[in-house]
Copies of this chain bind each other. A is one copy, B any other.
Amino acid sequence: MTRFECDYTQGAHPRIMQRLLETNLEQTSGYGTDEYCERARGLIRQACGAERADVHFLVGGTQTNTTVIAALLRPHQGVLSADTGHIAGHETGAIESTGHKVLALPNTDGKITAEQVREAYESHWNDAANEHTVQPGMVYISQSTENGTVYSLAELEALSEVCRECALPLFVDGARLGYALAAEGSDVTLADLARLTDVFYIGGTKLGALMGEAVVIMNEPLKRDFRYLIKQRGGLLAKGRLLGIQFETLFEDGLYFEISQNAITLAMKMRRGLENLGLGFLHNSPTNQQFPILPNTLIERLREKHTFSTWAKIDANSTAVRFCTSWGTTDAEVDELLEDIAAMMPTEDRQAVL
Contacts and interface: CB of A to CB of B under 8 A. Distances in A.
A96 B99 contact: yes
A228 to B, nearest CB: 4
B232 A76 contact: yes
A97 B239 contact: no
Contacts of A101: 93, 96, 101-102
A346 interface: no
A9 B24 CA distance: 10
Contact of A29 (B24, B63, B100, B307): B307
Contact of A27 (B2, B93, B227): B2
A94 B78 CA distance: 11
B74 A225 contact: yes
A60 interface: yes
Given A9-B30, A30-B8, A232-B75, A238 B93 contact: no
Nearest to A73: B75
Contact of A9 (B5, B27, B100): B27
Nearest to A8: B238
Contacts of A24: 10-12, 14, 17
A92 B30 contact: no
B90 A75 contact: no
Contacts of A135: 92, 225, 228
A299 interface: no
B239 A8 contact: yes
A134 interface: yes
Interface in A17-65: 17, 20-21, 23-31, 59-63
Given A93-B100, A131-B236, 17 more contacts: A9-B28, A10-B25, A11-B20, A17-B21, A59-B211, A63-B235, A74-B225, A76-B229, A91-B231, A92-B132, A92-B134, A92-B228, A131-B225, A131-B228, A131-B231, A135-B225, A210-B210
